[in-house]
């Protein structure tokens, strides 16, 4: 019952958005084109518990998406012993998140290095460059075993994530070290906008900035434009990082990022009329109305739920909560802090699902080792159940 009301409200809202504002071109992963399966709600369920023999924190950095037929896919960083070279795992749920199984892998097909860090999955909301609506893009950081290089490569899948084809390389950087003065690139995030795929990423190659945030675009998934900065602090020691982006109901675009270095990784927000001009907009630090400041590895999404403006959802690494805003993220408007009951994790992914009430929150622990080493977990929460 709630779902159908929610769907009507969402459809009405979208129509209003198309007539009154600029159209909500693709929305948060394009809910309207999706099937409406039933999702199994649950907190902190495990997809995969890595063996104790795996290196470092064993797994981290979980990304989740819903395909148009309701299938859920997940990927994350594995720290399995090599050989074979690391590959990005793809696990799949075809029963609405009740169970997951190992489905496939995105292997590095071009560098001989492995597909090691920061996997990102994107479902195309419309046909693009020879791919169909619903086909998948994957971006990841291909890094050799000695961590001496970084390279953001893009792959596609036309069979729901079973097989993957290399498309192109966005950019190449130096050693995978987060120290200032090293020159790696990190953390790709893909978004379709106005006939282009944008690849946002973190960039340590510019000698004027310990790290900055930048993007490149492509119209054919083969060649990419020169990079344009989104956040580049005049203070060399500032390390803005971890871009995520979503379009909201007003037609505007929201970018979140962490501002590390002297800024202690406080989560920041930018609001722009299009996602190519974040570099011209000032970001503001997110602080909840209860005074809490989230820090580290934010992720943003937007849902139709929660009133005429829908609701922005952001998280950070410093706690397990969600930070919500029902006023389109406008600077100075309140952010509320909500306990969704899920575990805290580094760079948790927030992905709204096609029943218009469920949100998958995907985590895989933190940079910790030993008895506390990570598992790959997910929660599927009800937004209405959280008062959203």
Q: Which residues bind ligand NAG (CB under 6 A)?
A: 49, 102, 104-105, 307-309, 326-328, 330, 333, 365, 372, 374-375
- Nearest CB to ligand NAG, comparing residues 102 and 194: 102
Q: Which residues of 69-107 are buried (b: 16+ CB within 10 A; e: fewer)?
A: ebbbbbbbbbbbeeeebbbbbbbbbbbbbeebeebbbbb
Output 87 or 192, the one with its CB closest to ligand NAG: 87
Rounded CA separation 248/311 (Å): 9
Look at residue 289 and give its three-state secondary structure. coil
Listed residue (383, 360, 238) closest to 306, CA to CA: 383
Q: How far is the CB of 313 from ligand NAG (least distance, A)?
A: 15
Report the residue number, 84 or 181, with the smaller CB distance to ligand NAG.
Answer: 84
C-alpha distances (whole Å) from 231 to each of 48, 203, 214 are: 35, 10, 7
What's the min distance (Å) between Cβ of 270 and ligand NAG?
15
Q: Which is nearer to ligand NAG, 9 or 178 (CB)?
A: 9
Closest approach of ligand NAG to the CB of residue 109, in Å: 14
Signed CA dihedral, 67, 73, 74, 75: sign only: negative
Q: Residue 349 to residues 59, 62, 76, 296, 301: CA-CA distances in angstroms?
A: 14, 7, 10, 13, 9
CB-wise, 195 or 307, nearer to ligand NAG? 307
Closest approach of ligand NAG to the CB of residue 90, in Å: 8
Tokens of 30: 């394009």
At its nearest, how many Å lie between ligand NAG and the CB of residue 36? 26
CB of 44 to ligand NAG, least distance (A): 9
Dist CA 181 CA 143 (whole Å) = 18
* Torsion angle in degrees (nearest 10) through CA of 350, 368, 296, 336: 60
Find the shortest distance in angstroms from Cβ 76 to ligand NAG.
11
Q: How far is the CB of 180 from ligand NAG (least distance, A)?
A: 31
Cβ closer to ligand NAG: 58 or 212? 58
Structure tokens at 374: 């990570």
In the bound complex, which residue of the shown chain has the CB atom lying closest to ligand NAG?
A: 327
Q: What minimum distance in Å lies between the beta carbon of 236 and ligand NAG? A: 35
Query: Of 316 and 365, which CB lies nearer to ligand NAG in the complex structure?
Result: 365
180 closest CA partner among 215, 148, 209: 209
Residue position matching structure tokens 């790290």: 211
Please give the Cα distance from 57 to 7 (Å, whole number): 41
Cβ proximity to ligand NAG: between 164 and 186 the closer is 164
Closest CA to 195 of 254, 129, 134, 253: 129
Cα separation, 29 vs 92, in Å, equals 18
Q: In the bound complex, what is the minimum distance in angstroms from residue 370's beta carbon to ligand NAG? A: 10
Question: Would you list the DSSP string of 100-157?
Answer: -EEEEEE--SSSSS-EEEEEEEEE-SS-BTTBPTT-EEEEEEE--TT---EEEEEEEE
Please identify, using beta-carbon distances, which residue of 38 and 102 lies nearer to ligand NAG. Answer: 102
Nearer residue to ligand NAG within complex by CB, 129 or 272: 272
Cα–Cα distance, 110 to 168 (Å, whole number):
10
Tell me which H or E stretch contains 10.
helix 2-20
């Amino acid at each position: 019952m709630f779902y159908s009301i929610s769907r009507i409200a969402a459809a009405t809202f979208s129509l209003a958005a198309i007539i009154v504002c600029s159209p909500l071109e693709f929305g948060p992963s394009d809910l309207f084109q999706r099937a409406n399966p039933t999702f199994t709600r649950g907190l902190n369920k495990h997809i995969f518990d890595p063996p104790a023999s795996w290196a470092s924190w064993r797994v981290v950095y979980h990304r989740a998406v819903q395909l148009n037929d309701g299938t859920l896919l997940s990927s994350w960083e594995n720290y399995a012993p090599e050989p074979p070279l690391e590959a990005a795992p793809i696990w799949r749920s075809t029963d609405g998140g009740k169970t997951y199984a190992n489905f496939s892998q995105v292997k590095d097909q071009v560098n001989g290095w492995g597909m090691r860090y920061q996997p990102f999955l994107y479902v195309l909301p419309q046909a693009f460059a020879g791919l169909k609506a619903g086909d998948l893009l994957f971006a990841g950081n291909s890094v050799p075993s000695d961590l001496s290089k970084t390279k953001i490569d893009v792959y596609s899948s036309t069979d729901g994530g079973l097989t993957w084809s290399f498309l192109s390389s966005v950019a190449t950087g130096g050693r995978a070290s987060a120290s200032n003065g090293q020159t790696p690139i990190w953390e790709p995030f893909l978004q379709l906008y106005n006939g282009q795929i944008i690849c946002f990423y973190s960039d340590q190659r510019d000698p004027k900035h310990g790290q900055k945030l930048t993007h490149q675009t492509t119209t054919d998934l083969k060649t990419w434009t020169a990079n344009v900065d989104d956040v580049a602090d005049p203070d060399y020691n500032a390390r803005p990082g971890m871009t995520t982006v979503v379009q909201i109901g007003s037609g505007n675009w929201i970018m979140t990022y962490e501002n590390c270095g002297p800024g202690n990784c406080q989560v920041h927000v930018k609001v722009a009329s299009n996602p190519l001009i974040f570099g011209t907009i000032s970001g503001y630090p997110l602080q909840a109305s209860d005074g809490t400041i989230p820090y580290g590895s934010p992720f943003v999404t937007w849902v139709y739920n929660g009133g005429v403006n829908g609701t922005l959802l952001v998280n950070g690494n410093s706690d397990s909560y969600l930070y919500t805003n029902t006023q389109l993220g406008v600077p100075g408007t309140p952010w509320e802090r909500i306990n969704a009951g899920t575990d805290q994790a580094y760079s948790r992914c927030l992905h709204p699902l096609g029943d218009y009430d469920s949100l998958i929150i995907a985590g895989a622990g933190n940079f910790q080792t030993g008895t506390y080493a990570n598992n790959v977990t997910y929660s599927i929460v009800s937004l209405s159940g959280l008062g959203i």
